[in-house]
Amino acid sequence: MDSREADGLLLDALLEHLGGQQQAPLQRRTETVLRALHSPPPVRRRSWRGIVQLAAVFLLSLLVYGWWPPAQTAEAVLDRALEASQQSEDRRYLVEVVRASANRLRFELDVHGARRCVLRGQSFSLGLDGQQAWFVPLLGPVLVNPEPVLIEAWLERSGAPAPFLELTTVLRRLRERYQLELLPATEGPAAGRRLRGWAREPDELGPQRIELLADAQSGVVRELRLLWDAGRSPLGLRRIELSLSGFPDLPPDWYRHQAHHEPDRAVLVLNP
């Protein structure tokens, strides 16, 4: 079959379809086909009313099903920081303790999750390995205790910030015992979320105020300030500041006492 025969069959089919069952004259049926072929396709005009209705349905879905981004609150910032503090990664903080006598003590604090930390000063190292607390003094035996109470008591007398070693514990206390206030965020490459907490009730040891700066993306605490009013701390504390200095790649045994003293050092296990 050549192309002319195919075109003829196609034209006959169009004539049959458009002409229906009526036996119209061939000329009339042909004119009908030609008009159909030369007529422009119908234009469907967009209905703005329909678009507005669709937009309204979409916005309503956002509100009903909770897809709308929640407003940032101090509680949300703190919860994100608490979640980040429990992640299994090493973080290093520089710690500065300011006492009422204006003397300053500086330490280095490494943390890993919620129950592993190492605090290092000039004459000692202190840590939690996830199961027990340990203390490595400059001289004498290494002290190991399943509960950190005895070691914390010694450090309180020495001026080190023992009750505030575990960053996760500090954040939990902030959530439970303080009235939270969201502060203006910091902008730029180091964007962060800031909040302040005021103690709801007097605490014999705890600070009256806590200020926190957390990374806007990860929630990792970048700065933490514990503040005491003059004469309110029995330990003579005025301020403890933690500043994030980096994410070191530490050896697996870093949070055990064996990594911080000689192998032949005497070890004394204290009963809780």
Q: What is the 8-class DSSP label of residue 69?
A: P
Q: Residues 206, 94: one domain?
A: yes
Q: Residues 31, 82: one domain?
A: no
Containing domain of residue 223, as a range? 74-269
Looking at the DSSP assignment, which residues form a beta bridge with residue 213? 194, 223
Query: How many other C-beta atoms can be found within 10 angstroms of the C-beta atom of residue 256?
Result: 18
Q: Tell me, what's the pLDDT at 109?
A: 93
Q: Residues 32, 144: one domain?
A: no
Q: Residues 247, 119: one domain?
A: yes
Q: Tell me, what's the pLDDT at 59?
A: 45
pLDDT at 152 over 60: no
Q: Residues 191, 262: one domain?
A: yes
Total residue length of the chain:
272
- Residue 96 belongs to some domain of the structure: yes
Q: Residues 104, 10: one domain?
A: no
Ranking 23-37, 98-112, 119-133 by mean pLDDT, the lowest is: 23-37
Contact 92, 247 (CB under 8 A): yes
- Terminal CA-to-CA distance of the chain, rounded, Å? 102
Q: Tell me, what's the pLDDT at 18?
A: 43
Q: Tell me, what's the pLDDT at 157?
A: 52
Number of domains the chain is built from:
2
Ranking 26-40, 68-82, 115-129, 254-268 by mean pLDDT, the lowest is: 26-40
At residue 176, what are phi and psi to the nearest 5 degrees? -90, -30
- Residue 90 belongs to some domain of the structure: yes
Ranking 57-71, 85-99, 124-138 by mean pLDDT, the lowest is: 57-71
- Residue 62 belongs to some domain of the structure: no
Which residues have a Cβ under 8 Å from the Cβ of 165 and sit 6 or more positions away? Answer: 109, 117, 119, 126, 128
Between 75 and 163, whose confidence is greater? 75
Place of tokens 């280095």: 108
pLDDT at 58 over 60: no
Distance CA 264, CA 254 (A): 18
pTM assigned to the model: 0.68
- Residue 47 belongs to some domain of the structure: no
Q: Which pLDDT tens digit goes with each residue over 61-83?
A: 444 444 434 457 999 999 999 99
Q: Residues 98, 225: one domain?
A: yes
Q: Tell me, what's the pLDDT at 13?
A: 46
Helix H or strand E encompassing 59: helix 48-65
Averaged over 23-39, what is the pLDDT?
54
pLDDT category of residue 194 using cuts at 50, 70 and 90: very high
Q: Residues 99, 222: one domain?
A: yes
CATH number at residue 85: 2.50.20.10
pLDDT category of residue 211 using cuts at 50, 70 and 90: very high
Q: Residues 152, 219: one domain?
A: yes
Q: Residues 237, 118: one domain?
A: yes
Q: Residues 33, 79: one domain?
A: no
Burial of 78 (0-12, 13-18, 19+ CB in 10 A): buried
- Residue 165 belongs to some domain of the structure: yes
- Residue 54 belongs to some domain of the structure: no
Q: Which pLDDT tens digit goes with each residue over 101-123?
A: 878 889 999 999 878 899 998 88
- Residue 117 belongs to some domain of the structure: yes
- Residue 134 belongs to some domain of the structure: yes
pLDDT category of residue 49 using cuts at 50, 70 and 90: low
Q: Residues 239, 172: one domain?
A: yes
pLDDT category of residue 95 using cuts at 50, 70 and 90: very high
Contact 86, 115 (CB under 8 A): no
